[in-house]
Amino acid sequence: MSSKEDILARLKKHAIDPVERPGMEFTPITYADPLAQFEKILKAVGANFVLLEEGQDVNEVIRSVYPNAKSIASNLPEITCVTVNPDNLDDPRELNGTDVGVIRGEFGVLENGMVWINQHTRYKAIFFISEALVILLDRNRLVNNMHEAYKQPGFDDFGYGCFIAGPSKTADIEQALVIGAHGARAVTVILS
């Protein structure tokens, strides 16, 4: 008997009886007050939360949250306070120096404050190069958890998409929290 056969024979001799795998049933988390939950989690991840009141102008809200912004980039037709439409640029590097980028979110996730973003702009650089990011989101497009998020229509039918949850942050360098390391330093989600 070779050493390999000897090892396998010993393993087989001391094998334990197989155990049935337990069921994987569980009830995903849900929330009774979606707006309160979303606001709580957004603030916990460092984002701003604005609930647009009826008749309130989103452009005035953007200007009030970022009063010192000189460069506001967006291709959304309802955003009239823009200084540059990113779709009209020849090179995404021209977005460098953008104070505020305004984009639309497809849906928000209550359990973690993430917003799913599909690329509806010529350059996805606006998501990450802007110093601050404003995400417009329909208040009726909130899902409880990631299980519901992955089941959203069109979730897997896009060219580029990503989840964004608050400002960019990392703490892997000497365990010091750095905000804005890989993207926006500030994120404001405006629910309409």
pTM of the shown model: 0.84
Can you give the pLDDT at residue 113? Answer: 95
**Two tokens, residue 184:** 């926006």
127-161 per-position pLDDT tens digit: 999 999 999 999 999 999 999 999 998 777 778 88
17-27: buried (b, 16+ CB within 10 Å) or exposed (e) per residue?
eeeeeeeeeee
The amino acid present at 40, given as its one-letter code, is K
18-42 per-position pLDDT tens digit: 888 888 888 889 999 999 999 999 9
- What's the CA gap between 171 and 138, in Å, rounded? 32
Closest CA to 126 of 148, 99, 156, 95: 95
DSSP state of 84: B
More confident position, 179 or 54: 54
Q: Looking at the predicted structure, is the pLDDT value of residue 119 above 80?
A: yes
Can you give the pLDDT at residue 1? Answer: 65
What are the DSSP E strand ranges found in 14-168? 48-51, 72-73, 100-104, 107-109, 115-118, 132-137, 142-143, 161-164
- Provide the mean pLDDT of the chain: 91
Determine the average pLDDT of the residues in 6-13. 87
In the chain, what are the domains?
A: 31-191 (3.40.50.10420)
Can you give the pLDDT at residue 151? Answer: 92
